[in-house]
């Protein structure tokens, strides 16, 4: 068999959890073990497009890994999170209320090719161990800095303290880090409260099936 499966990932589940469920579904359908892999993870708190490859399609994973992506995110200003999202310890940092013009200037600075530090709470390997595992153990994590491209950041809505944005970025861009960088440049601090992946190259979440619906069909 060879399948490309577009799943709309629910909030609160890891990408590996989605893969495990789909693998079980296909095993029951085919009556044998089926190899299933993803083409780029989403954080547990995030939702949206997850492309899974099953059977012979897993050989095509390299074709998907370097694709551009689009996301919609809510950035909360005035506080920071240990993980850059709702799952970390939250600290209030500022009462400053930036103007829309100030935000536009900051977003322009973060558009184009930029150097982005990989977050400590990420799946990147440091000395053979996942960075997030080291961070959860309370160990100092020195992650690499990478060049990424932010093609566009569009403001969808701004009602302090929430800034809602839509981004088109290159593969390897961390939207959590982008949110934190927005907060740093504004002098307010910031973290993501929502994150939704809407596109990977020409694949859209509009064509994806919610996980529960897929499991029950």
CA-nearest of 72, 84, 46 to 183 is: 84
Strand partners, 154: 166
Query: Residue 149: what are its φ and ψ, rounded to 5°?
Result: -120, 125
CA–CA separation, 162 and 40 (whole Å):
27
CA–CA separation, 70 and 40 (whole Å):
13
Catalytic residue selected from 8, 28, 43, 95: 43
Asked whether the beta carbons of 37 and 53 are under 8 A apart, the reply is: yes
Asked whether the beta carbons of 183 and 176 are under 8 A apart, the reply is: no
Q: Is 43 a catalytic residue?
A: yes
- Which residues belong to the active site? 43
């Amino acid at each position: 068999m060879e399948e490309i499966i577009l799943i709309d990932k629910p909030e609160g589940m890891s990408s590996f959890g989605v893969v495990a469920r789909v693998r079980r579904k296909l095993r029951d359908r085919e009556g044998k073990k089926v190899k299933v892999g993803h083409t780029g993870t989403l954080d547990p708190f995030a939702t949206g497009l997850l492309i899974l490859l099953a059977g012979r399609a897993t050989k095509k994973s390299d074709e998907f890994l370097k694709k551009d992506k689009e996301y919609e995110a809510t950035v909360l200003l005035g506080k920071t999170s240990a993980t850059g999202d709702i799952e970390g310890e939250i600290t209030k940092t500022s009462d400053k209320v930036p103007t829309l013009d100030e935000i536009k200037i900051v977003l322009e600075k973060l558009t184009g090719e930029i150097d982005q530090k990989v977050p400590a709470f990420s799946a990147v390997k440091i000395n053979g161990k996942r960075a997030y595992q080291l961070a959860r153990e309370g160990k100092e994590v020195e992650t690499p800095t990478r060049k990424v491209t932010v093609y566009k950041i569009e403001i969808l809505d701004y009602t302090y303290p929430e800034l809602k944005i839509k981004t088109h970025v290159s593969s390897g861009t961390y939207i959590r880090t982008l949110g934190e960088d927005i907060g740093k440049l504004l002098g307010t601090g910031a973290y993501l409260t929502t994150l939704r992946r809407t596109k990977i190259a020409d694949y859209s979440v509009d064509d994806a099936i919610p996980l529960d619906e897929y499991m029950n069909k």
